Amino acid sequence: MDDSTCTLRYDGSFDGLLTAVFERYSRRINAESVLSDKADIPMFLDRVIDVDTDEAKARRVWNGVKRIMTNTGQKLLTQSYLSAEPGIDSSIFRIIIKSIDTERTVENDFADPDVLAAWHAARRVGQERHQMLQFLRFQKAADGSYFAPVEPRYDVLPMAVEHFANRFADQRFLIFDISRKYGFYYDGNKTIRVTLEGDLPHLRSGRLTEELMDEQERLFQDLWRTYFHAIAIAERANPRKQRHDMPARYWHLLTEMQSPPLHTIPT
Amino acid sequence: MTEATLNKLKILAAAAKYDVSCSSSGTVRANKSKDSVGNTVSGVGICHSFAADGRCIALLKVMLTNYCAFDCAYCINRRTNDIPRATLSVSELVELTMEFYRRNYIEGLFLSSGIVRNPDYTMERLVRVAHDLRVTHRFNGYIHLKSIPGASRELVTQAGLYADRMSVNIEIPNENSLKYLAPDKNFKSIYQPMGYVRQGVLENKEDRRKFRSTPRFVPAGQSTQIIVGASPERDRDILRLSSALYSTPTLRRVYYSGYIHVNSYDTRLPALKQPPLVRENRLYQADWLMRFYHFKANEIADDRFPDLDLEIDPKLSWALRHPEAFPIDVNRADYEMLLRVPGIGVKSATLIVNARHYRRLGSDHLKKIGVVMKRARYFITCGELTAVCVADATPEYVRRQLTAPQSRRLQSPPEQLTLDFG
Ligand code: SF4
């Protein structure tokens, strides 16, 4: 090995990223950054070493991380990783290395650009999860179960599903990520991951068809829309704040943002 | 549940909309059983939607009825108004809550009511809704009930067994003004139910010490609302009242509601063309300072400055009145002092205190951490920085710099004081 730094290429998985940390130490590679094989290789990179994901090695690194970093710090790494932002993997890589080298977690060193980048990414992911708790809407199906389509920017459904299983413990439901084409089904006892192939229209459109819908579903959607419009104070109209707190990218799946109630009631 | 319910819901939601509280915060309760529904989660609660006025919708906020025997001048539902009236039945309210909740539209129910026949008759029906939700439907989500002014201790105490939060709105911050505008009310009719709840909570604490299984009583405490601008009270008076309320054991939130001129025929009320939204926002900021920034009411407004500055936020206003307190050394000052710096919020103060364990912080670090340097630079030193300090540059100069037209965005509150109106 000469001393010039190089980049480790891994398969884009979190385990792969941890394996890269392992190889850096065990093979004494002078690497300061990583590169997912899903990303395009920047032109100026000439020294790239490939790393084969190895669960055992990854686990050893993670155990090391757990020894040094707090729970918050660990969550910072896993959560910021989900953002899949370009370069965030390298930041995570360097945070782990710095913490291992100094035998002290750097998770609170907010003046370190990598730490700050990870916090920002983790916050965005956490916010995306929170918005799923806010804006997910169930529709009741004729068989008594509930269906909700989601389309999050980051892959946060696995982080959110437990909330719904706890809250709606007595209610069977399917939450489906219509862009990533997988979901979770809760049967009243446990949650299972499902990938439904085939062409079910509501898994594409996010809307139950008339035959699949509970007979009262329309009425409750109308009631909710009626409520939504009646609760706003006209003298305080503030569309900017509404849009800021409820970004437009969620609107197509929000019951209340669909066309106004069919039954227009005179005031 | 039929389509007739639609019409009633429309009337009774519109009747409830001037009550600004909609928060589902203040309590954490897990759903421990597989055959009950609902829980309350930690933090600030969950806003499920945002109405066209930008306000959070967390709860189904509705009145049981908007018939009312009282005649409060500021209220749309007063007896003398000729408006559509409606009443939702107990079962309709229960079903609406359950069905909305199961679809993840809401965190729970916020139920209030006009006063029909007498306070106890009304309170009893509120209690029945809460009872049916909790007992018959095993509903474990959030319930906020109004304590009806003048309701008996028994009923208020019963309500407290099912409710997460209870509230009585003071509305008018001075007793004489209250009696003038709401002849059927006085401070006693408002403070008495508040006192019942407070006592209930304290007794419940005792009981829970002895028997851990005793169910909690109004775990999210009480809140209240003050209408701003319907009566002549100054901000100083309002903040004093709020601060006195916050010093009582169970009061968690005071809401401020800019007066909307709903009964323009009533000459006891000022003819406001626009609700005083800026003033309302300043009061929320001041309230925020008292609850999270360790400010006292009289530091924010006192006899010399009885009203909040509408042009700048109350924290900047305090700083400009106290140039002698600055500059503050960010690398040494304690957390409390950092909080006093305009441009440093709770979050950035925490980050600073953490980050300076690792290194000395310069202005670049501060910027990245989220300090609004445009404001903060007049009030801090961090070694390398040579900006003018407010103490030398004079408060007037700093004020002009910070309120210059290009930097003024009246719509958005200052950076470190973004508020949720939930
Ligand atoms: S008692 Fe309540 S509902 Fe009735 S008029 Fe007064 S404020 Fe309005």
Q: Residue B129 above 70 pLDDT?
A: yes
The sign one gets for the Cα dihedral A190, A194, A199, A203 is positive
Residue B213, helix vs strand vs coil: coil
Tell if the CB–CB gap between A110 and B365 is shorter than 8 Å: yes
DSSP string, B143-212: EEEEPPTT--HHHHHHHHHH-SEEE---BSSSHHHHHHH-TT--HHHHHHHHHHHHHHHHHHHHHHHH-T
How confident is the model over B345-370, as a mean pLDDT? 90
pLDDT in tens, B275-317: 999 999 999 999 999 999 999 999 999 999 999 999 999 999 9
Q: How far away is chain B from the Cα of A53, in angstroms, using its nearest Cα?
A: 33
List the 146-205 stretch of A: residues with Cβ below 8 A of B.
Answer: 146, 148, 163-164, 166-171, 188-189
Question: Higher pLDDT residue, A40 or B93?
Answer: B93
Interface test with A, best of B10, B31, B139 (most A CBs within 10 A): B10
Quote the CA–CA distance of B119 and B113 in Å, as a whole number: 10
Q: Please give the pLDDT value at position B1.
A: 75
Q: Please give the pLDDT value at position B417.
A: 41
Q: Residue B92 above 90 pLDDT?
A: yes
How confident is the model over A59-65, as a mean pLDDT? 96
Q: Residue B239 above 70 pLDDT?
A: yes
Structural domains of chain B, ranges and CATH numbers in brackets: 3-221 (3.20.20), 314-402 (no CATH)
Quote the CA–CA distance of B325 and B337 in Å, as a whole number: 9
Counting residues of chain A whose pLDDT is more than 90, the rounded percentage is: 79
Q: Which residue of B has its CA nearest to A237?
A: B53
Assess contact for A142 and A213: CB atoms under 8 A: yes
Check if A214 contacts B (Cβ < 8 Å). Answer: no
Q: Please give the pLDDT value at position B308.
A: 97
Tell if the CB–CB gap between A254 and B411 is shorter than 8 Å: no
Q: Please give the pLDDT value at position B384.
A: 66
Q: Edge to edge, what strands does the sheet with A139-140 contain?
A: A139-140, A146-150, A173-177, A182-186, A191-194
Q: Please give the pLDDT value at position B408.
A: 45
B193 lines ligand 1 (CB under 6 A): no
User: pTM for this structure?
Assistant: 0.88
Q: Residue A3 above 60 pLDDT?
A: no
Half-sphere exposure of B350 (CA within 13 A, CB side): 7
Question: Higher pLDDT residue, B363 or B384?
Answer: B363
Q: Please give the pLDDT value at position A165.
A: 96
Tell if the CB–CB gap between B55 and A236 is shorter than 8 Å: yes
Closest CA to B220 of B100, B351, B43, B78: B43
Q: Over chain A, what is the mean pLDDT?
A: 90
How confident is the model over B253-270, as a mean pLDDT? 92
Nearest to A170 among B34, B39, B105 (CB): B34
Rg of chain B taking only CA atoms, in angstroms: 24
Tell if the CB–CB gap between A111 and B35 is shorter than 8 Å: no
Does the complex come out with an ipTM higher than 0.95?
A: no
pLDDT in tens, A116-168: 999 999 999 999 999 999 999 999 999 999 999 999 999 999 999 999 999 99
Quote the CA–CA distance of B281 and B288 in Å, as a whole number: 10
∠ Cα B404 B274 A246 (to 5°): 75
Quote the CA–CA distance of A169 and A187 in Å, as a whole number: 9
Nearest to A170 among B35, B84, B354 (CB): B35
Q: Please give the pLDDT value at position B25.
A: 77
How confident is the model over B337-359, as a mean pLDDT? 93
Q: Residue B412 above 90 pLDDT?
A: no
pLDDT category at B375 given cuts 50, 70, 90 is very high
Q: Please give the pLDDT value at position A43.
A: 64
pLDDT category at A111 given cuts 50, 70, 90 is confident
Residues near B19 by beta carbon (within 8 Å), at least 6 away in sequence = B61, B110, B112, B169, B225, B257
Q: Please give the pLDDT value at position A205.
A: 84
Q: Residue A210 above 80 pLDDT?
A: yes
List the 224-263 stretch of A: residues with Cβ below 8 A of B.
Answer: 224, 226-242, 244-246, 254-256, 261, 263
Tell if the CB–CB gap between A240 and B100 is shorter than 8 Å: no
Q: Please give the pLDDT value at position A184.
A: 97
Instruction: Identify the residue whose C-alpha is closest to ligand 1 atom 2.
Output: B114
User: In this structure, which amino acid lies at residue A212?
Assistant: L
| Token code pair at residue A250 | 């969620």
Angstrom distances, CA of residue B272 to CA of B20, B230, B262: 19, 9, 10
Place of tokens 């559509």: B84
Q: Please give the pLDDT value at position B43.
A: 65
